[in-house]
Each structure stands twice: as C-alpha cells, then as structure tokens.
Amino acid sequence: MPHHSSAAPPPLPLVVTLNCIEDTVLEQECLSGVAAVEHVPLSRLAEAKIESAAAVLLHSLAFLPRAAQRRLRPWQLVLCLGSSDPSVDSSLAADLGLRRLVHVDVSRAEEVADTVMALFLGLLRRTHLLSRHTLSASGWLGSVQPLCRGMRRCRGLVLGIIGRSASARSLATRSLAFKMSVLYYDIREWIKIYPSVDCPELGVALSFIKRLNWERKKLSRSSLAFPSAARRMDTLNDLLAASDLISLHCALTNETIQIISADCLQHIKPGAFLVNTGSSQLLDDCAVKQLLIDGTLAGCALDGADGPQWMEAWV
C-alpha cells in the first residue's frame, strides 16, 4: 500500500499586540484561522517577538516607549486602533521608516467618556492641584485652603458636547447621572478608516477591520442616539454660550480643523471649563491660552498624543 504522508500545516502568521491591549480575546476571535495573536509586555521586549510579527496592533505609536518603537520593522503592518491624533503617529512612522502604518477608527467610547469625566472632575474639584501639593515638601502640613478656592459642584452645571460620536453619547449618560444638564452640537461627520500609505498586503488587517465593523453594526438604533434628556443645539456658538463645561468629540477633518477658533471662542460662557481628548488641531491653542490669561476660561484639560496637560486661569 502506498504510504500517504500528512504534511503539517504551515504556521499562522504572528500578530503582536502592544500598549494597553493586554486582553486579546476579541483579536483572537477576529483573526481565528488567519493569524496567531499574542500580547507582548514591555518586560519581554528582548524575546524578539515584535521583530518576528507579521503585524502589530497598538492604540497609538506615539504612546509606545522608544525601546519598543525601535523594534518595529519597515515591512510590518502596524495598525493604530483609535489614535487620538493620527497625524502625530503618521509623522513618527515616517521618522522610524515604517511604510505600512494604517489608522483604524475603533470605538473606545467607554474609556474616552471615563477619561473626560475624570478630567472635568479634576478641574471642578481641583484634585490635580491637591495631589501635587501632597507630593510637595510641605505635604498636607502646608495650607490647602488657597487651593480649595474655586471648587465647584457638578450638580446643576451645563455640559456642552461637540460631536456625536459614541464617546459623546457615553459622556452624556454619565453627566446626567451627576445631575448635570446636557447640550450637544451635531457636526454630522462620518469617520471612515483611512490608511496613511498604500498597503497591498492587507489580508490580516482587512480580516480584523471587517470584524470590527461587523461588531459595530450590531449596535441597536437606540444606542446611536443621545439620551432623551440631552438637548440638541442648532449652532456651535449657542452651545458655547450656554455651557459651563465643554468637551470635544469629533475627529480631525478638513471641516473640523480649529473648530474651536478665536472667533468661536468669543461666544464662550465666562468661567467655563474646556476638555479635549482628541487632536490638538481641533483648537486654536493661542486663543485658548489668551482666554486663560484674561480669566474668561476657568480651566482647560488636554489629553492628546503629548499626554495630559492641565491649565488653569492665570489671574
């Protein structure tokens, strides 16, 4: 009888996850039968897993430590899942010689809403200043009374949300639970996947992206709407004039570059707080700083590619 040898199937390509993507259950389900998925913590960089991977999944290239950045290879497919500022990551990829960087719009609604809420609470209750004070030489022995001046309650404040993303709707739900009023301005933008370069070999990426889009389509229509208690504003200026707290939830497009412009900021409510967890290019930073200097803007928190920044009124 002829002997039939069964050759072992070729190994699946390796996909490595970095940054905060430690739980890879979703990625493994999406790429089942297409690729093997493994998370590589910073403590295991020396194992050369990153160098041997066909594709790398991460939140943002800018947030990746330099030691890990240097292990990426030009031929690898690098997927940025929801970078807050794609232009920063694209520029960094060019500096590193990475030719296959792809930005994928992945909803991080709950995480973004939690972050925005924490930033607003920090501004209102001045917890970031109190924390800094406790770490100073004087600690709690020093007087904290001056730092407590200007603290405000959340209850009864008006939150103005710019954009209609999933994170915007999640933030609205949280704010209503804090007894705030919620206004929103709909920019009517449609965010799509936008590769930064032409990548002909996108088999792994397309499989993953298609699954993500399929998961997104499973959302019910009710989840696409703001809570009924939230009120839609017809113009951005009307929202700025009525809001004690302002949060940006829009992607950077040609239409939204400096959507918060110097002219627009003329309508802002005196004493308002501003939070931006998106691209820094959504704001006219010079105009924002001027409003902080003259006291029109009480405080600002920015959490972008450069990390969190806190700014208080300077008078």
Residue type, 237: N
Would you place residue 20 in the very low, low, confident or very high pLDDT band (cuts 50, 70, 90)? low
Write the DSSP assignment of 2-71 as a string of letters.
-----PPPPPPPEEEE-TT----HHHHHHTTTT-EEEE--GGGGGG-HHHH-SEEEES-STTS-HHHHTT
| Distance between CA atoms of residues 9 and 186, nearest Å | 51
Residues 159 and 175 grouped into a single domain: yes
Residues 238 and 143 grouped into a single domain: yes
Residues 70 and 153 grouped into a single domain: no
Which residues pair with residue 36 across a beta bridge?
14
Instruction: State residue 220's pLDDT score.
Output: 38
Instruction: State residue 222's pLDDT score.
Output: 43
For residue range 214-272, list pLDDT tens digits in order.
554 454 344 468 999 999 999 999 999 999 999 999 888 888 899 999 999 999 999 99
Residue at 175 is within a domain: yes
For residue range 297-310, list pLDDT tens digits in order.
998 998 754 545 55
Residue 132 buriedness (CB in 10 A; 0-12 / 13-18 / 19+): exposed
- Written as six digits, the tokens of 215 are 């998961």
Residue at 50 is within a domain: yes
Residue at 123 is within a domain: yes
- Written as six digits, the tokens of 75 are 């031929």
Would you place residue 11 in the very low, low, confident or very high pLDDT band (cuts 50, 70, 90)? confident
Q: For the chain, what is the domain count?
A: 2
Residue at 201 is within a domain: no
- The CATH number assigned to the domain holding 42 equals 3.40.50.720
Residue at 195 is within a domain: no
Residues 86 and 181 grouped into a single domain: no
Would you place residue 193 in the very low, low, confident or very high pLDDT band (cuts 50, 70, 90)? very low
| Higher pLDDT pick, 32 / 21 | 32
Q: DSSP 3-state assignment of 181? A: strand
| Higher pLDDT pick, 279 / 217 | 279
Domain limit, last residue, from 104, 120, 151: 104
Domain limit, last residue, from 104, 135, 170: 104
Domain limit, last residue, from 81, 104, 127: 104
Residues 80 and 129 grouped into a single domain: no
Residues 298 and 234 grouped into a single domain: yes
Residues 183 and 237 grouped into a single domain: yes
Residue type, 51: E
Residue at 1 is within a domain: no
Asked if residue 17 lies in contact with residue 39, where contact means CB atoms within 8 angstroms, the answer is yes
Which of 138-152, 281-295, 298-312 is predicted with the least confidence, judged by mean pLDDT? Answer: 138-152
Residues 154 and 35 grouped into a single domain: no
Residues 91 and 148 grouped into a single domain: no
Nearest to 163 by CA among 116, 120, 125, 208: 116
Asked if residue 18 lies in contact with residue 58, where contact means CB atoms within 8 angstroms, the answer is yes
In this predicted structure, the answer to whether residue 204 has a pLDDT above a threshold of 70 is no
In this predicted structure, the answer to whether residue 141 has a pLDDT above a threshold of 50 is no
> What is the average pLDDT score of the chain?
79
In this predicted structure, the answer to whether residue 98 has a pLDDT above a threshold of 70 is yes
In this predicted structure, the answer to whether residue 21 has a pLDDT above a threshold of 70 is no
Domain residue limits at 185: 109-189+219-312
| Distance between CA atoms of residues 267 and 56, nearest Å | 44
Would you place residue 197 in the very low, low, confident or very high pLDDT band (cuts 50, 70, 90)? very low
CB atoms within 10 A of CB 49: 17
Residues 302 and 270 grouped into a single domain: yes
For residue range 27-67, list pLDDT tens digits in order.
888 888 888 999 988 888 888 889 999 999 888 888 888 88
Residue at 4 is within a domain: no
- Written as six digits, the tokens of 286 are 């010079």
pTM above 0.85, yes or no: no
127: left (phi over 0), alpha (psi -120 to 50) or beta: alpha
Residues 18 and 143 grouped into a single domain: no
In this predicted structure, the answer to whether residue 199 has a pLDDT above a threshold of 60 is no
Residue 145 buriedness (CB in 10 A; 0-12 / 13-18 / 19+): exposed
Would you place residue 1 in the very low, low, confident or very high pLDDT band (cuts 50, 70, 90)? low
Nearest to 239 by CA among 293, 158, 171, 176: 158
Mean pLDDT along residues 89-104: 89
Instruction: State residue 213's pLDDT score.
Output: 54
List, in order, residues 6 or more apart from 205 with CB less than 8 Å away.
55, 77, 79, 102, 104, 199
Residues 90 and 236 grouped into a single domain: no
User: How many helices, marked H, and strands, marked E, lie in the chain?
Assistant: 12, 13
Residue at 205 is within a domain: no
